[in-house]
């Protein structure tokens, strides 16, 4: 029987984090590194990836930066090839890259709807498919999809008027469930984290404008902090979650509990 420290130890593992250069993606990448994993930072801007990789290497872990637009199949394939050439394997994938577009539903341009869906659901599908093939060969793997509580419930339009975001994250939630069932016989666990409101460079202006109403909708009375996703990311990437698959886990200060 393994100890808890052994179960949560990621030493010798390789984890890919899309959208891992900034925000919650970087925090989760840092957590995986702190638990012992080598980490691949993948996003569209190589300089941002390299800067994040440099910060992660300060933990003593190995880090590798790759430029990748996850909506482009050829770039996802090239990213996979670079990872396999550099590390020779991949044990965990965190599908974190995402975006939103704020507009009333009646005014949302179709092209913006498509852009949100391309990144928020097609990107995770492509990355899971391409890196999942390597996991299937290895007969093990962890896929962690980053959705949102917006994919679980309707949101107050005064602060969250992005129906494409909520709809795409809802699709990611059920993609998680179905992929978990489809790949269970390959010993690949597929789970989903649904963050509540975490202040990031992408939403800080929204938070400043609506701070009181946003905080009021969170039972704990505050937004997510820099350490609040680290533990669940390590859990789902580690052997401690080997009997968890298809799980949808809100990390939201209790927002969907009332």
Work out the percent of the chain whose per-residue pLDDT is above 70.
100
Joined tokens for residue 118? 């391309």
Joined tokens for residue 56? 């992660």
| Catalytically annotated residue among 165, 175, 183, 198 | 165
| Those residues with Cβ within 8 angstroms of residue 163's Cβ, 6 or more apart along the chain or in another chain | 105, 108
Joined tokens for residue 116? 């949100």
Question: Are the C-beta atoms of 4 and 27 separated by less than 8 Å?
Answer: no
Query: How confident is the model over 57-77, as a mean pLDDT?
Result: 97
Summarize pLDDT for 147-189 with one digit per residue, the tens: 999 999 998 887 788 999 999 999 999 999 999 999 999 999 9
Known active-site residue 160: no
Please state, in angstroms and rounded to a whole number, the distance separating the CA atoms of residues 25 and 98.
10
Assessment of whether the complete model's pTM goes beyond 0.85: yes
According to the model, what pLDDT value does residue 156 have? 83
Summarize pLDDT for 78-133 with one digit per residue, the tens: 999 999 999 999 999 999 999 999 999 999 999 999 999 999 999 999 999 999 99
CATH architecture of 4-250: 3-Layer(aba) Sandwich (3.40)
Joined tokens for residue 31? 């957590």
Task: Give, in degrees to the nearest 5, the angle at Cα 200 between 111 and 38.
Answer: 100
């Amino acid at each position: 029987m393994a100890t808890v420290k052994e179960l949560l130890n990621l030493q010798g593992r390789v984890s890919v984090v899309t959208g891992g250069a900034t925000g919650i993606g970087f925090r989760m990448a840092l957590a995986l590194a702190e638990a012992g994993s080598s980490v691949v930072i993948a996003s569209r801007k190589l300089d941002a990836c390299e800067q994040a990789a440099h910060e992660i290497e300060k933990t003593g872990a190995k880090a590798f930066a790759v430029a990748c637009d996850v909506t482009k199949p050829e770039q996802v394939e090239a990213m996979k090839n670079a990872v396999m050439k550099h590390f020779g394997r991949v044990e965990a994938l965190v599908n974190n890259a995402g975006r939103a577009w704020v507009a009333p539903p009646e005014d949302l341009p179709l092209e913006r709807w498509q852009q949100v869906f391309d990144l928020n659901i097609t990107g995770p599908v492509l990355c899971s498919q391409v890196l999942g093939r390597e996991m299937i060969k290895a007969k093990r793997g962890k896929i962690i999809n980053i959705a949102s509580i917006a994919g679980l419930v309707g949101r107050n339009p005064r602060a969250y008027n992005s129906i494409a975001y909520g709809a795409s994250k809802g699709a990611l939630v059920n993609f998680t469930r179905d992929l978990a069932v489809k790949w269970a016989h390959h010993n690949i666990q597929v789970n989903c984290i649904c963050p509540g409101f975490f202040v990031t460079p992408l939403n800080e202006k929204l938070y400043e404008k609506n701070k009181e109403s946003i905080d009021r909708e969170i039972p704990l009375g505050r937004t997510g902090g820099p350490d609040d996703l680290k533990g669940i990311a390590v859990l789902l990437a580690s052997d401690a979650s080997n009997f968890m698959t298809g799980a949808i886990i809100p990390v939201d200060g209790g927002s969907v509990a009332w």
